[in-house]
Structure formats: structure tokens, C-alpha cells
Amino acid sequence: MNPTTYAVRLGLRRGWIELRQSLTNVGDIVYWLLLAAVFLTVLFFQRDSTVEGTDLSLAAVVMPSLLGGLLAFQTVGGAAYSLAADREDGTLLRAKTVPQGLLGYLSGRVLGLSVGTLPLLVLILVPSLLLVDGLASLHVSSGLTLLWVFVLGLLATMPLGIIVGSLVKGPREAYTWVTFPTMALAGISGILYPIQSLPVWVQNIAQVFPVYWLGLGTRSVFLPDSAAAVEITGSWRQLETAGALTAWAVIGLLLAPIVLSRAARRESGSKMQDSKQEAMKRVG
């Protein structure tokens, strides 16, 4: 068997095992349930507020945006944190010592992070369809749109997490460098409130980053066409959404392997031991 194919198969097998463990892990399940409960509570209190210029509730506009924003947060944060943790405990060091080990490692991480984001999104989506009025019903066309938005969104955001995880010192730094920038982007990208309520210069900044385009793409799936009136150009701009997410995906997929390879070359047994000692100091 081709060494590359074999490495990918091993990586995917490992990713599937870790994913199954996560789906049965009490801590992960509690995290998903609590986070979903928080967002559903927010939507519940927003259901009686109407977005200016439409007859839609604020909850109806925010819910799809949350799906896009959470996809970005979970993917970037998950990739950065897990990679930083794997560097600290020696997983990345072991991976680089075998032929095509980094490729296998990356394959497993991509599978685990891609599928691992779905439980939280489903826990928010399904109750929202019952709780929030004004959401468009899914059909074949909108379902396909949701699929390509999510796929391009994953490809656009996951490399960013890999880059962050390759550069930071450890998991705690990864959490810091992901959480605050992502929260800031969510605040200016129309995830929690319609973006047209923000100054034009803030809108222009938001459109540079994939978080805005993920929110716009998911809104185009779940909201009626009339809701596009409150968007920046009065339309869903699906072609621009695909273009922006693809551009981020291409840039990220070109840079992430380079940054990861350099991070792997810097890993050594002594450095791993130093990282473990630092981690023990934090725990202590």
C-alpha cells in the first residue's frame, strides 16, 4: 500500500476512535449541553424583539448566525488547543518520528474536529426550529447551501487553529489567543446582532474575516429572502461568500502545513519534558 494512503488511513482510524470517545465522554456531553442551554436561553429572551426593517424576531436572525459563529469558534479553538496539548504531551513528537506521521496525525485531527462540531450545532438547531418563529424550512436547495457553507467554513477556519496551535507555547496560551479574538470578531460580524447597526468602518473590517461570511451564509439558509434587506448590500451574496471562504481556505491550507512542519522540527524530548514541567507547575 502507498505510504501516504496508509498514513491517512491510520490517521482517520485514530480520529474516529477519538471522536467516539468524545461522544461518550461525560465531560464533553455536559459541555455541549451547558453551552447549548446558554445560547437557547439567549434566543428565548430575544424572540419578542423585532429587527428594524423586517417582521422577523431578533432570535430568528441571531440563531443562524450563531451556528456559523460557533462553527468558527469550535473549529479554530479545537484545532489550536488540541495541537498545543499534543505538542506538550509528546504526541506531535511521536508522530514526526514515523514516515508520513504528520500527515496521519493531521488527517485524524481534521476528521475529529470536523465531525466533533456537529453535536453542539445540532443541540442548538433542533430546539431552535421549535422555539423560534420565522425560520425558513429546509429543502434540497437550502440543504446543499448549508453543506457547502459548512465545508468551506471548516476549510477556512481549521487551518487558522492549526497555525495558532503551532505557534503558542501551550494549551492555555492557545485558549487565550483564540477566545478573545474570536469573541471580538463575533461582536463585529453580525453574529449576536444585525451588522447594519454597526458603523460602516466596522462593517468593512468584519468582511475581511471568515466569521462574517459564515454568519451570512447560514442566515441565507434559514431566513426568508426578505430578510436580506437588512444585510450590507441588501442581498445574501452567496457568490461572494463562497469566494471569501475559499480564499481563506486556500491561504490557510498553504500556510498551515508549513507552520506545523516547522513546529514539529522544533520538538524534542528535552523540550517536551520542559513543557510537562511547566504544565505541572500550573496545576500545582
Confidence of residue 272 (pLDDT cuts 50, 70, 90): low
Q: What is the pTM of this model?
A: 0.86
223 three-state secondary structure = coil
Three-state DSSP string of 100-137? CHHHHHHHHHHHHHHHHCHHHHHHHHHHHHHHCCCCCC
Mean confidence (pLDDT) of the chain: 85
Lowest-confidence segment of 41-45, 69-73, 213-217, 269-273 by average pLDDT: 269-273
User: What is the pLDDT at residue 142?
Assistant: 86
- What's the rounded Cα separation, in Å, for the pair 155 and 136? 26
On the question of pLDDT at 17 being above 70, the answer is: yes
pLDDT at 129: 86
Q: Which residue has the higher pLDDT, 91 or 210?
A: 210
The predicted pLDDT at position 276 comes to 54
Per-residue pLDDT at 27 exceeds 90? no
Strand partners for 50: 57
pLDDT confidence of residue 88: 81
186-214: average pLDDT:
91
Instruction: Flag the least confident range among 68-82, 151-165, 269-283.
Output: 269-283
Highest mean pLDDT (candidates 42-51, 54-63, 157-166): 157-166
> HSE on the CB side for 186, CA within 13 Å?
20
Distance of CA 97 to the CA centre of its chain: 29
> Does residue 246 carry a pLDDT above 70?
yes
| Confidence band of 150 (pLDDT split at 50, 70, 90) | very high
Report the share of the chain in percent with pLDDT over 70.
92
Per the CB < 8 A criterion, the answer to whether 83 and 32 are in contact is no
